[in-house]
Amino acid sequence: MSAGAGGLVAGFLAGFTRIRVLNLREIRTHRMRVFTSLSVVVVSSALLVAVLGTYGSFTASVRAFNSAISGAADLEVAAIADSGVDAGLAAELRRDLPDAKAVVPLIRGSITVGGTQIPLLGSDFRVTALSGDLAAAQGGVSISPADLEDGIIAGPATGLREGQQLTIGDDEVRVARVVTGPDADELNEGRYAFAYLPLAQRLTDLAGPAGTAGRVTSILLVAKPGADVGHLRAEATRVVDGRAVVVNPDFRAKQAELASSVTRDSTLLVALVSLVIAAFLVFNTMNMAVAARRRSLAMVRALGARRTHLVGDMLGEAALFGIVGGAIGVPVGVLAGRWAVSQVPETTRDGVTIAITYHLPAYVPVVAILACVVSCVGATSLAARSVFSVSPVEAMSPGEVADGVPRRGVAVWVAGLVGVAAVIGAWIIVFTVPGRPAIVAGAVYAIGALLICFAFTRPLVTAVVLLARAFRGPGRLASVNTGRAPRRAWATLMTVAVAIAVGMGTSGALDNLVSSISTSLDGLGDPDFYVSSSTEDEVPLGPVLPPQIATEVAAVPGVSAVIGGQWANVNIGEDRALVQGLVPGSRAPFMRKASPDAVRQVLAGNGIILSNVLARALGVHTGDVLRIATPTGYQQTVVRDTVDYVAIDSGTAAVSSALLGRWFNRPGDTYLQVITAPGADKTQVRAALDRIAAQIPLDGGLHAHVYTGAEALAATQRQAQQAGG
């Protein structure tokens, strides 16, 4: 070992010995003080682990499900909308892409069995070229073609049994096989069903007219060994020609991450603020420790120790504080995250119900512990500055009054000016920076406010002293102690202030969020009733309601108007947006927020209205011509207006319902707005609507849902409260 390395090791061991003999012994004499500070560090670490683990689990579950399906695929030709992509495109890709080893059509959907939705995967014999999990989903061994005409292969967790007869929509289906074996539950924890392509198309309403190939959800491409994937992407894009999007197979995981990013970032910001509170408590603890140890520190100085050694020991003690607190908080955060994930229902992505399982990225515990160490060491570095003023002659004299040394004027002025600039900058960010980056304003504002409070330490402590004196004897004693230790008093004051500010800020932000949603969705609660393809908690994306439902609803006594409409998921590259189809008379936020001229032109099929979020994502403004890919090829339309709207995924848009049906091969309605006549008995009207919904099934064996406009708005507000709480 070299002399330099040996010196470093010797110095480290000497420092560790001093910490063990001097610092840790002092800690044992103030257990309650240490326990209080350590508890806050533990909570901060647990919050970081819980937040990152919970939101990471959502994205990781979607990524794991898609990875199990896509397997070796290098590219995915994904449908632009829920209506799918022409299955005949697969033959074109096989013909025109010599670098493609396999071109595999795939259907992702869900079937309803006994009131439970089960993910349905459909493909042909080429599916084995993708992944072992899909090969296992086929059942592992050969099945006769006759069995596959009306037979499905079920996962072990579906509760289905081999030979069981099922009625799904208008189709009679038999369970040809239940997958068994060690790999049977690798895909979605065993909750899935597999059908060969023709049957899967019928069960998901993607079958075309007789003699046509029908439609599929996506087409997966596996490149030949050594092939240039970039060239393959370019050639696939040329062949597709706007009828689908050519993306990486993991694009759905990115969409899922984006969908939860706002609530994740906001919750993470609260967790980081808890580290600030922990830092103040650690500062207080270490400040009191320096004051209490002043004689012993002076004695060590008299024995030859340097000031840098003593400061280093204090920082080492703080680092140990952060490591222990952070390490204890990791399992607590894991338990909290697992509990939170267990309360989350299965998520639906592209019509597929995916089980959410707990995933903790390997970096999360390391990040949590490092954050705690940085917080503790940073706070202690401020408290340890007073160690530099310790001289050996103080070994025989009390020195706790050192905490009462006033702060330097230059530091106070600099802190005040920087704090004011930060607060002003935070307000500028709020009003000028759109989208998620505006969350940074909260952190900038907090830093600025703390710096201003630092600059006003003397007035704040004076105010505390004056207030304490008002409480007679005990108050006067407290005021004397406060005046002798202004730094500790300031840190305690800031700890309480930050805790109260976080509580009030979080509550106020949640109230503002709910209020903003109510304003943004002005018109959502206007209809008396909705007859929808989904519950009030979900956007009605499909399936399309049978026309018979609208006819019978219009005939219900007390109903004065029935207004149709639909929502569709649209993939714009790797981003996902929601598009609403409007008809004259629609009670919709877009109708209220856009200018009358824009609404008129959009209803006439001549333009599109975009949310501000989507307009920013696409880089367009009012009056620009927007070129978008649709299942019928590239289409052009004019952006008539941009409005504030709840940011779902990458944004929201509205076109006429007829245009939506024509461009995206989705004629019909996914919801009906029901308006009752004045004086109508709404209880009887709802009972009639419930009967109609129960009597007329939708595709896949589903039934329509009936709820009021007030229930729809309340459900959206409730989701915002749950996300924020």
**Residue-level pLDDT at 400:** 47
Angle between helices 709-724 and 261-292 (to 10 degrees): 30
Q: Which range has the worst mean pLDDT, 402-416, 436-450, 635-649?
A: 402-416
Mean pLDDT (whole number) for 601-630: 90
- Tens of pLDDT, residue by residue over 670-708, are 999 999 999 889 999 999 999 999 888 887 667 889 999
**pLDDT above 90: residue 648:** no
Amino acid at 523: G
**Residue-level pLDDT at 21:** 57
Residue 361: is the preceding peptide bond cis (ω within 30°)? no
Most confident region among 172-181, 294-303, 495-504 by mean pLDDT: 172-181
User: For 511, how many CA atoms within 13 A lie in the half-sphere containing its CB?
Assistant: 6
User: 576 has which bridge partners?
Assistant: 571
Q: What is d(CA 357, CA 365) in angstroms, rounded to the nearest whole number? A: 18
Cα 343–Cα 346–Cα 349 angle in degrees, nearest 5: 140
Most confident region among 181-185, 275-279, 337-341, 571-575 by mean pLDDT: 337-341
Most confident region among 116-125, 386-395, 498-507, 574-583 by mean pLDDT: 574-583
Q: What is d(CA 441, CA 437) in angstroms, rounded to the nearest whole number? A: 8
Read off the pLDDT band of 16 (50, 70, 90).
low
Q: Which of 423-429's residues contact partners 24+ apart within 8 Å by CB, and which partners? A: 423/448, 423/449, 423/452, 424/448
- Tens of pLDDT, residue by residue over 467-480, are 888 887 787 878 88
**pLDDT above 80: residue 435:** no
- Tens of pLDDT, residue by residue over 160-170, are 888 888 887 77
Helix (H) or strand (E) holding 639: strand 633-643
**pLDDT above 70: residue 234:** yes
**Residue-level pLDDT at 554:** 92
**Residue-level pLDDT at 399:** 47
- Number of Cβ within a 10 Å radius of residue 250: 16
**pLDDT above 60: residue 140:** no
**Residue-level pLDDT at 328:** 94
Q: What is the DSSP string of 338-371?
A: HHHHHHSPPEEETTEEE-------THHHHHHHHH
Q: Is the Cβ–Cβ distance between 326 and 373 less than 8 Å?
A: yes
**Residue-level pLDDT at 401:** 45
